[in-house]
Amino acid sequence: MGAAGLIEIKRRIKSVENTRKITNAMGLVATSKLRKSRKELLVNQKFVESTEKIVKNLASTIFEDEENIYFKANNSKDKLYILMSSDSGLCGGFNGSIVSYLETLVRDEKDNIKIIIVGSKGVSYVRRFGLETIAEYVDIPDIPSVKEVKIIFEKALKMYKEGEVSEVKVVYSDFISPVKQEPKAVNILPVDKIEGKSGECIIEPEGEEVLNDALNIYLKGKLRNILLSSKCSEQSARMVAMDGATKNANDILSALNLKFNRIRQQMITQEISEIVGGAEAQK
């Protein structure tokens, strides 16, 4: 391999260096987004915990012996699953693991499920498993606001109230730490039995109306908490994937530089040998 071989290796080295710059930059961006998402997640968790206390107090005070649609499931045979995926790729096995987990949950009841996808990347994965969606919500911000959560929640609540589905579950990647995330399914509707101490409180205008409004706020906050946890898991997975890609690029560069230097050394040695040989021939 001569000069042409060196030129080809130089091109490969340049290409890998450019790739490394991109993966390194994406890793840094993912780290920054993860930090912001975790901060927002902690704030929202406190909100959900505070709201849950209020809902428990209201539920135990108002509906000790009464039924409420939020707590009492209907007779529909169908169930609704809301799948939290990502809108962009390059995040390792984040989407694949979530959809695989969903597939294991619904494997024996595919004819009685409805699926809502949050995030564009989950659509192709779900269809690959032979599942169909009834709604898809894409372009969700890295820090989802109440506006996005409200649209998703109201769609699910409408289907539940109209008896189209008897349960609403959310499947997502639960963020535990930057190095650990686990697929998880959480029940949203009907609301699990809320145990709380009955307390004396003045309620206006109507007890049922106040409880329903409080439950709406609580469930939206809970759904936003799940979406934020999913976003944290996504950025964490992307950060790890980009870090691995950068390390692989460094390994490839080391191998290419070694190969380049060896070929160059061989060419220099050959040239020296030719010069020495020419000098000897002239003696």
What would the mean pLDDT of 168-173 be, rounded to a whole number? 95
> Is domain 28-239 classified as CATH 3.40.640.10?
no
Tokens found for residue 214: 């409080």
Q: Give the β-pairing of 180-189 and 167-177.
A: antiparallel
In the block, tokens 């372009």 appear at 139
Instruction: Give me the sign of the Cα torsion angle 222, 226, 228, 232.
Output: positive
- pLDDT (tens digit, 9 = 90+) per residue, 231-260? 999 999 999 999 999 999 999 999 999 988
C-beta of residue 238 within 8 angstroms of C-beta of residue 96? no
pTM over 0.75: yes
* pLDDT one-digit tens code per residue, 255-282: 999 988 888 888 778 777 777 777 666 6
pLDDT digits (tens, 9 = 90+) for 44-103: 999 998 888 888 777 766 655 456 778 887 888 899 999 999 998 889 889 999 999 999
Q: What is the pLDDT of residue 107?
A: 85
Q: How confident is the model at residue 227 (pLDDT cuts 50, 70, 90)?
A: very high
Across residues 207-224, what is the average pLDDT?
85
Which of 89, 144, 146 minimizes the C-alpha distance to 121? 89
